[in-house]
Amino acid sequence: MVTFFLLVLLFILLLLLLNPFPAMCQIGREGEWCLLYASIGISAMHMQLLHNKKVVMFDKTDFGPSNVSLAYGRCRYDPSDNVLKNDCTAHSLLYDIGTNTFRPLLVETDTWCSSGAVLPDGMLVQTGGYNDGDHVVRTLAPCNDDSCDWVEFPGYLSERRWYATNQRLPDGRIIIIGGRRQFNYEFYPRKSESSPSFWLEFLRETRDDDENNLYPFVHLLPDGNLFIFANTSYISRLQAKPCC
């Protein structure tokens, strides 16, 4: 009996030793905030939980260096960066909830106020952004080792998408709606290289002088229609008209 209790005690001690979380953050203590890291070196302007319990975080790229270096001595050379053309720091990282660890990722183009959605297979598709990033599609396929990183497709989008909204559709595609001064939408994946975007008058109607109606609110309804609203107006049906 005593041996049994000793074994249980030993087991609990081992669990505590192996627990990657700080002492204040024991699993099971629900309903409390708990500081995992005082700083992770980047700011999580965008954040997405992936299907494998990892969280990808990223920030805009052109504000100078972050506080975390890229792995393997890599650097990003970007002649169109407004602040730092040769940047050896990371602006994105992958946080592992299970182990409370993270590793830097390399994002080449500016993701400032981009938008994204996760495909049915778990891959994150992040579209648009600012400056050199406004026509870019970036994908991040989750992995359980250290092999995955951003893959970028410059010029994939037919319009610049800054403050657009993305919604996954029942057929697995993603619709990308609006963005600053973009009163239209398009799809990922596109049908061909010259896939057009489609005009959406509603977005122009809801535009105000301060452009506070960016990132339109989009919900997929059970009947397959999209409910889109901005400010005090909405539509719940999309009439696809060829754009431009």
Ligand X SMILES: *[C@@H]1O[C@H](CO)[C@@H](O)[C@H](O)[C@H]1NC(C)=O
Binding site for ligand X (CB under 6 A): 39, 41-43, 66-67, 208, 210, 212, 231-232
Least distance from ligand X to the Cβ atom of residue 60, Å: 11
Q: Which is nearer to ligand X, 125 or 200 (CB)?
A: 200
57-to-107, 125, 175, 213 alpha-carbon distances in Å: 11, 13, 22, 25
**Distance in Å, CB of 182 to ligand X, minimum:** 18
CB of 231 to ligand X, least distance (A): 4
- Compute the least distance from the CB of residue 3 to ligand X, in Å: 50
Residue 144 or residue 212: which is nearer to ligand X going by CB? 212
Q: Which residue has the tokens 């989009």?
A: 218
d(CA 203, CA 189): 22
In the numeric block, which tokens belong to residue 120? 């049915």
What's the token pair of residue 216?
Answer: 């339109």
Question: For ligand X, which is the closer residue by CB, 36 or 243?
Answer: 36
Strand partners, 56: 48, 94
H/E stretch holding 102 reads strand 101-105
User: Considering beta carbons, is residue 100 or 139 the nearer one to ligand X?
Assistant: 100
Minimum distance of ligand X from residue 66's CB (angstroms):
5
| Peptide bond connecting 189 to the previous residue in cis, omega within 30 degrees of 0 | yes
Pick between residue 146 and residue 209 the one whose CB is nearest to ligand X. Answer: 209
